[in-house]
Structure 1
Amino acid sequence: MTAKVTVVRTEPATGRAIAVGREPLPPGLMKTGAVLALGPVLALLDTTIVTVGIDSVARNLHGPLAAVQWVSTGYLLAMALVMPLSGWAAGRFGTRRAWLASVVLFVLGSALCGLSWSTGSLIAFRILQGIGGGMIQPLGQTLMVQAAGPSRIGRVMGTLLLPISLAPVLGPILGGVLLDHLSWRWMFLLNVPVGLLTVLLALRWLASEGAPAQSRPRLDGVGLALLSPGLTGLVYGLSEIGGGGWAGPLAAGAGALLLLAYGWHVLRPAAGGGWVPLIDLRLFARRGFAVATANSFLQGAALYSSMFLVPLYYQQVEHVGAVEAGLLLAPQALGTAVTSLLAGRIADRFAPRPLILLSIVCSLLGTLAFTRIGAGGGPADWLLVGSLALRGVGMGIILIPGMAAVYSSVERAQVPAAASAVNVLNRLGGALGTAVLTLVLQQARTGHPGHPAAAFGDTFRWVLALSALAIAPALLYSGTRRQA
């Protein structure tokens, strides 16, 4: 008889030891993971392709930057608005059915984006696309965690992370090729055949769940009426404050009040009655979950806002083409892809706190050169490329420890709620970061008339500050590696 070999792995958030089996991964599980990986690959490809196409869209549709940035911000915000529904949808319709419906709606929104005729119609269809794409990742993570179990989730995610990590590499390059040889519309139309292939493979390889449970959770209508307009008002208000007038501050204040009302609604003693909270705030009472989601929020703010700024700088200041802009962005994604493949083994050997702090240090050092844009001769091109690669290394280090910290801090039944909350905060951070830095860039251009490079340098100092803010929650991770 062969003895079962067991290793001990440390829970990233708390340092608690977890037994991890060394049994081989079954082929059926890998097929399930491959299908579920296609969902976030679709969303990531779309996000990164669009980053290099913003300038082309603005010129073709004759829209100002303040309006065209909502092609990105509106998409991220729509994703954040529907992500809270993933826990309810999984219980009401079944996780597999809800995931398939999300992919189909994403494909439909992509097709309509490719047919849009104005900035307004493109933003509207991007919101529809975001509504479909918003639940793909949390529902897919729920299916993956439940299929793999806690003892195999790290190895499964480490194996399947390569295509997800390569999507940001291929996205900007593919976007540049499409813009140079076809048109910006193909940035969206490309999703249609890939999305249909995903649906066909899911119908074949994803196991059917059978009929949903008899006790289906009710939708929290009051919470939806408070949370969705609250998030929208807050992001819209922050993006409009710099334009003068009362609309921006009023919207931001109203959004903040609605979010406070949502908090009272879900935490009051009488809450319950068969409905599932869209975001279960009680999960944040768990230290590991609260720390990991705070880092996810700040990481989203720094990541998505820089993905908006970097290609805009290369296209508007350096006047490079779309393909070259995509190639210049590739080092950051390659750095993420390489280090994320090693992150699972690294996380097993070291305590989580130094790993997370190392990732933040890499991100800070990788941003410094961009803050010197417009100062004297500015940094050399090779230094900017190397800085992007270093930023990517920092992002890759944090991926698996951050995900493991979230899911190891909750019970199995709480996985859908946890996936919903962490993805909402990550995308909300991205929407807020993009809106705020667009405002900062506009103000910086006013302060540096005729010197666009200096305006970008000032704006990247805000990216540096966003990255530095993540140090505070990172210090709350466990600093020791406990043995069993």
Structure 2
Amino acid sequence: MTQQPAATADKLDAAVLKVAGVVVLGAIMSILDVTVVTVALPTFQSEFDASYARVAWTMTAYTLALATVIPLSGWAADRFGTKRLYMVALALFTIGSGLCATADTIGQLIAYRVLQGLGGGMLLPLGMTIMTRAAGPHRIGRLMAVLGIPMLLGPIGGPILGGWLIDTASWHWIFLINLPIGAVTLVYAQLALPKDNPEPSESFDFLGMLMLSPGLALFLYGVSSLPEVGTFADAKVWAPMLVGAVLLVAFVRYSFKPRHPLVDLRLFANRNLTIATVTMFVFIIAFMGAGLLFPSYFLQVRGESTLAAGLLIAPQGIGAMITMPLAGTLADRVPVGRTVPFALVLIVLGFFAFTQVDVHTSYWLLCGSLFVMGLGMGATMMPIMTAALKTLHPQEVARGSTLVNILQQIGGSVGAALMSVILTNELNGSRPIPGVTDPSGKPLTEAGLAIAAQQQPELTQQVPVPPGLVERGLDFAADSFATTFWVALALVLVTFVPAFLMPRRNEPSQTPDDPQAEQGKSPILIH
């Protein structure tokens, strides 16, 4: 009889699930919009008569806006209340989506994507804060499993949805689809989210904002420009990265002085939080980088359609859906140091098959490997995030989720740029075709022509192609992908180092009901 209340308290009740539903809908819009645009870039090129580098800024501008606004979300959540701010972010994102669908030029589309990013950048950190406060520290794992579904399925569902909408309707619908979802979520949020209790006592750290937000934007701008120019020596890469790094270092030195800094780096005094965020950061670099490679291999080397490529990587999401609920439950009961290393082993096994890819690798093998990798990913990301946030005092959750999201954004941008540069350099290593250039005037390589021929067979009729050139170019392209997958696999192996330092036993944790916690004697919950 005495055990029943505790068991019941561990379950996610209807009120908490209602809150989780709001956050998941917002996360789905924000995350899908990052990935759904990837398949629309060739369409943007033809619609707006723009280069690939130009249309790629429809993604980069969104990412930069995310990075700029995330640091503000922690303070704003305390100052104005999470419900009020979350609804403003939803409205801003939805309005930005509608404007994107009306764009007549690529410049307008890029500008509207910035507006979208300003709203989308607040949705995830605010959502994590709302969910953590609603469930309490003892149920964070279960809620992170719920939030993790759109976070892991976004890179899979985005290309499928985008390809289908573009094929059956037009590119406008990848943005218009957000309008009804956004409207429903706004109404749902008004009804389901608890009333705000803002704490306006903290002053806003203007000096910190002047260093951190521009520093992040400039640094990520330089990183995002790397795939376009292909070298760190270009001023377009190193100049903004250098200025951004200087601003970020200045912010780190400054942030320990004010009582309420824009991002509270004092949270790193907690060993468990530090280890969890380092593990997550390295993992995100590998995960986000590889997320671009999988569909690209199927599109460029195997000549599949956009929709087919999205369907071929779907087994990864199925695997994640199987393990994520179990991992979320275990994260509340079993130390993550005992589960995450085993999940990383599954990811390594899945990655290894892709390091061996060629032009004729069995789809059964690749889809099976993606499924195994998905099993590992579903049991990795959310437990790591749970380990990070579970150590925080309730009043620190907003700041902690902001810190986690900033690291995710930086890690994702670095991973995408790193894998893109490696793959591009590998592909450029193939032999140039004498007298043949691409639209930018650069010599066209055998691999470049082979990839173009896979996606546009009519090109081989316009360019004289010697016998066997396309096959030779595709073999080289497949080897280039395999080499890049080796780098991603190496990064996953590096993740084992901090993962083995994560907590391997349960330690007594304080809840907000403990007298000591109420008195503020211990600002950090120990997991």
The normalised TM-score by structure 1 is 0.87
Partner of 2:463: none
- 1:318 partnered with 2:302: yes
Partner of 2:491: 466
Alpha-carbon distance in 2 for matches of 1:231, 1:23: 39
- 1:223 partnered with 2:208: yes
- The one of 228, 238, 251 aligned to 2:223: 238
Alpha-carbon distance in 2 for matches of 1:137, 1:248: 28
Q: 1:26 to 1:349 in 2, by over 3 A?
A: closer
Alpha-carbon distance in 2 for matches of 1:256, 1:197: 41
Residue identity in the other structure for 2:501: L
- 1:380 partnered with 2:384: no
8 Å contact kept, 2:144–2:385: no
Within-5 A mapping of 1:25-424: 25-158=12-145, 167-209=154-196, 212-215=198-201, 217-241=202-226, 242-243=230-231, 244-268=233-257, 271-272=258-259, 276-347=260-331, 350-374=334-358, 377=359, 379-424=361-406
Q: 1:226 to 1:162 in 2, by over 3 A?
A: closer
- Unpaired stretches in structure 2, ≥5 consecutive residues: 431-444, 448-476, 510-527
Residue identity in the other structure for 1:457: A
Residue identity in the other structure for 1:364: V
**1:277-328 C-alpha deviation (Å, 9 max, x unpaired):** 2221111111111111112222322222222232233222222222112211
**1:200-226 C-alpha deviation (Å, 9 max, x unpaired):** 11112222226x3452x3322211111
Residue 395 of structure 1 and its aligned partner are, at CA, apart by 1.2
Residue identity in the other structure for 2:245: A
* Structure with more relative contact order (C-alpha pairs < 8 Å, separation 6 or more): 1
**1:103-132 C-alpha deviation (Å, 9 max, x unpaired):** 111111212222233444333322221111
Alpha-carbon distance in 2 for matches of 1:265, 1:230: 14
Residue identity in the other structure for 1:450: E
Residue identity in the other structure for 1:318: R
Alpha-carbon distance in 2 for matches of 1:384, 1:23: 39
Alpha-carbon distance in 2 for matches of 1:481, 1:205: 33
8 Å contact kept, 1:4–1:22: no
SS state at 1:218 partner: coil
- Unpaired stretches in structure 1, ≥5 consecutive residues: 8-19
Q: 1:443 to 1:352 in 2, by over 3 A?
A: same
8 Å contact kept, 1:103–1:199: yes
SS state at 1:219 partner: coil
Residue identity in the other structure for 1:94: G
8 Å contact kept, 2:27–2:147: no
8 Å contact kept, 2:138–2:332: no
Q: 1:372 to 1:333 in 2, by over 3 A?
A: same
Q: CA RMSD in A?
A: 2.5
Aligned residues, how many?
Answer: 462
Q: 1:205 to 1:149 in 2, by over 3 A?
A: same
Alpha-carbon distance in 2 for matches of 1:186, 1:91: 36
**1:374-427 C-alpha deviation (Å, 9 max, x unpaired):** 4xx553222221222222112100133212211221111110000100011112
Q: 1:315 to 1:185 in 2, by over 3 A?
A: farther
8 Å contact kept, 1:52–1:311: no
8 Å contact kept, 1:305–1:437: yes
Alpha-carbon distance in 1 for matches of 2:32, 2:45: 20
**1:121-167 C-alpha deviation (Å, 9 max, x unpaired):** 33332222111111111111111111222233334444665566555
Partner of 1:426: 408
- 1:453 partnered with 2:478: yes
The answer to which of 170-179 and 79-88 deviates more is 170-179
Alpha-carbon distance in 2 for matches of 1:23, 1:343: 15
Partner of 1:10: none
8 Å contact kept, 2:126–2:398: yes
The answer to which of 87-96 and 143-152 deviates more is 143-152
Q: 1:430 to 1:58 in 2, by over 3 A?
A: farther
Alpha-carbon distance in 1 for matches of 2:332, 2:13: 22
SS state at 1:207 partner: coil
Alpha-carbon distance in 1 for matches of 2:374, 2:46: 30
- What is the aligned-residue identity percentage? 38
Alpha-carbon distance in 2 for matches of 1:123, 1:136: 20
Alpha-carbon distance in 2 for matches of 1:201, 1:348: 28
8 Å contact kept, 2:215–2:248: yes
Structure whose alpha-carbon radius of gyration is higher: 2
Alpha-carbon distance in 1 for matches of 2:489, 2:18: 40
Q: 1:437 to 1:308 in 2, by over 3 A?
A: same
Q: 1:65 to 1:472 in 2, by over 3 A?
A: farther
8 Å contact kept, 2:10–2:138: no
Q: 1:292 to 1:118 in 2, by over 3 A?
A: farther
Residue identity in the other structure for 1:227: L
